[in-house]
Structure 1
Amino acid sequence: MSVSGGPLVTVTIPMYNNERFIRQTVESVLSQTYTNFELLVYDDCSTDGSYEIVASIDDPRIRLLRNPGNLGPEGNWNRAVSNIRGTYVKLICGDDILFPDCLEKQVAVFEEMGDERISLVCAQRTIIDADSNPLIKKINLVEGGRHQAVDVTRKLIRMGTNILGEPVCGLYPASLLPRTRGYSATVPYTIDLDFWMQLLKLGDLYMIEEPLCAFRISDESWSSRIGDLRYHQFLEFMEQTASDGSFEITDLDMFIGKINCAVHSMTSTVGFKLFA
């Protein structure tokens, strides 16, 4: 059931200077086969035409809000989930895309599981470039189905990379938000993974095998601007996660993860430079 008779899903977009991509992002949400949702767009005082583009889209499901001052990514992401009506929440960056049946298939997992302790439903994703051309059609680092938090977290550490996906990949229950610290950019590159870890302390992961969304790589994306700091910031995230005893991460997990993190850092840096 939705909160107070409102929409079952809240899709929320923290937006800042996404003029080039925001119309495509918004339209991908409005084109969902699942229709019981609201779309919130929080503009963080963009200096380009982002706000005007969203304001020109006539759809009653959109609520467009402009922050009184620039909050930065962490502040805007948290504001984006501060006033929702849906039972489930999906946060999307202003340049990513949902495939038409994304919400339908992710909501179905929660609805079919009933009272099962699932705190996060993720889907595989396609990687696209600035012109929406697919670079990688499917990232598949976690098998489809249900996974206990300890198992998936230890695998994440060992692989030294994001095996769960970016914010666009996830859907989670709004009721869990008060039990988290919210989005934290203490380690900017892993703001999404830090939040996924908070959710996984509250329940299990369910991974949908097929790609239901697209994550965009461009020179305008936040992760691209972080650049060479990615490696050091992922190591910092690994240390923070390992310090939480509930995930049962071993010294061997960390040793393997640091090696893999270095390899991923070298290859992903090349990828960002080639495709940006």
Structure 2
Amino acid sequence: MTVGTVDVMLPHYGRLDLVQETIRSVLAQDDPAWRLTVVDDSGPAADDALARWCAALGDERVRYLRNPHNLGINRNFARCVELVSHEHAVLVGSDDLLLPGYVATVRAAFTAHPEVGVVQPGVEVVGRDGLPARTLADLSKRWIFAPRATGVLGGEDLAVSLLRGNWLYFPSLCWRSGPLRRTGFRPGLQVVQDLALVLDLLLAGERLLVVADPVFRYRRHEASVSSAHAADGRRFAEERAFFLDTAARLDAHGWPRAARAARRHLGSRLNALTRLPGALRAGAGAGTLARHAFTR
């Protein structure tokens, strides 16, 4: 059976110009079977520029909603999940871009593999200026941690792979809405909420399909929340607690190899280690980074 409309959920907080680029990339899809929902978490004091701009588009597939008060990252993502009404959805970052073939590619993927819960399409990484970027984090994802083959992955093997180093690009993932709503985001998490969600789905028996076609453009820049939290060590304090808790859950589930990978969390340690020189120069967060990189 052919997959229907894809809900493009856009949790927004930040620059107007970047979110406008994201919205334009949705409007430029080759496949018109999408609906875009912008969930603005800027708070009641923000101006109405984005609301007016969305209304002026004159496209009934675009709806704009503003939260009555600022929810924060985790709860705004949860709000987006609550608002999903079609069978498949993507939670795109408000500075990322869907390339023109994105919707057609994920619809074809789910049509061919209706048994999977998540699709990871091919991704291009760009910097703040929109030009191709080759960061250490992305090179590690591609050449060290990501599987060499495309296709359907799942179970403990996929959990081990992701816990060694999370090679997914969360804003590009397209989800089957039923499992996404049933599982949802763990309350209280911010920078690691994406990995937690995927692992929870794996524990529930869901599988992931990796597609090679590059149909998404992920923007990597230091102004992002994950980069800012990594710079001062907050990211790694959250990650350390998450990995220890996850290891215990995986042991209880009967996945000992995945539990060991969670305790080691190699990719996260390497990320902290690469940021340690900058933290030492800045005089902030070095202790947290060092503990995360070297303490078992």
Q: TM-score range by the shorter chain?
A: 0.7 to 0.9
Q: Distance in 2 between matches of 1:92 and 1:22?
A: 10
**Paired residue for 1:193?**
195
Specify which of 154, 157, 165 is matched with residue 169 of structure 2: 165
Matched, 1:128 2:126: yes
The residue that corresponds to 1:274 in the other structure is: none
Residues 219 and 145 of structure 1, relative CA distance in 2, 3 Å threshold: same
241, 246, 253: which one aligns with 2:246: 241
Unaligned runs of 5+ in 2: 279-296
The question of whether the paired residues in 2 share the 8 Å contact of 1:2 and 1:85 is answered with no
Q: How does 1:145-224 map to 2 (within 5 A)?
A: 145-157=151-163, 159=164, 161-166=165-170, 168-180=171-183, 182-184=184-186, 186-200=188-202, 201-224=204-227
- Cα 1:165–1:71 shift into 2, 3 Å: same
- The alignment-based identity, stated in percent, is 25
TM-score by length of 2: 0.78
In structure 1, the partner of 2:270 is 263
Task: Compare CA radii of gyration and give the structure with the larger one.
Answer: 2
Do the aligned partners of residues 249 and 17 (structure 1) sit closer, same or farther apart at CA in structure 2, a change above 3 Å counting? same
Q: Is the CA contact 1:187–1:236 (under 8 Å) kept in the aligned structure 2?
A: no
Where do residues 1-276 of structure 1 align in structure 2 (5 Å cutoff)?
A: 8-45=5-42, 47=46, 49-114=49-114, 116=115, 118-136=116-134, 140=142, 141-142=146-147, 143-157=149-163, 159=164, 161-166=165-170, 168-180=171-183, 182-184=184-186, 186-200=188-202, 201-227=204-230, 228-245=233-250, 246=253, 248-250=255-257, 252-254=260-262, 257-267=264-274
Higher helix share: 2
Distance verdict in 2 for CA 1:270–1:84, change over 3 Å = farther
Deviation at 1:199, TM superposition (A): 2.2
Q: Is the 8 A contact 2:156 2:255 kept in 1?
A: yes
Render the CA deviation track for 1:131-174: whole Å, top value 9, x for unaligned. Answer: 111103985313311112311111122x2x321222x2211111
Moved more, 209-218 or 34-43: 209-218
Shift of 1:28: 0.9
For the structure 1 residues 186 and 39, does the alpha-carbon distance in structure 2 shift closer, same or farther, using more than 3 Å as the test? same
Output the amino acid matched with 2:124.
T
Q: 1: distance between equivalents of 2:275 and 2:29?
A: 31
Q: Please state which structure has a larger fraction of its residues in strand.
A: 1
- The residue type paired with residue 146 of structure 1 is V
**Distance change in 2, residues 1:156/1:247 (3 Å):** farther
Structure-2 separation of matches of 1:267 and 1:127: 19
The change in CA–CA distance for 1:269 and 1:19 in structure 2 (over 3 A counts) is: farther
SS at match of 2:9: strand
- Alignment CA distance shift 1:260-1:63 (3 Å): closer
The one-letter code of the counterpart of 2:213 is: E
Q: Tell me, which stretches of 5 or more residues in structure 1 are unaligned?
A: 272-276
Partner AA of 2:199 in structure 1: M
- Hey, what's the Cα distance between the residues in 2 that align with 1:122 and 1:8? 18
The structural deviation recorded for 1:13 is: 0.3
The count of residues paired between Structure 1 and Structure 2 equals 262
- Once the two structures are superposed, what CA deviation does each residue of 1:220-260 show, in whole Å capped at 9, x if it has no partner? 321122122233332333223222233714364345x3444
SS in 2 for 1:124: strand
Contact 1:125 1:214 in 2 (8 A): yes
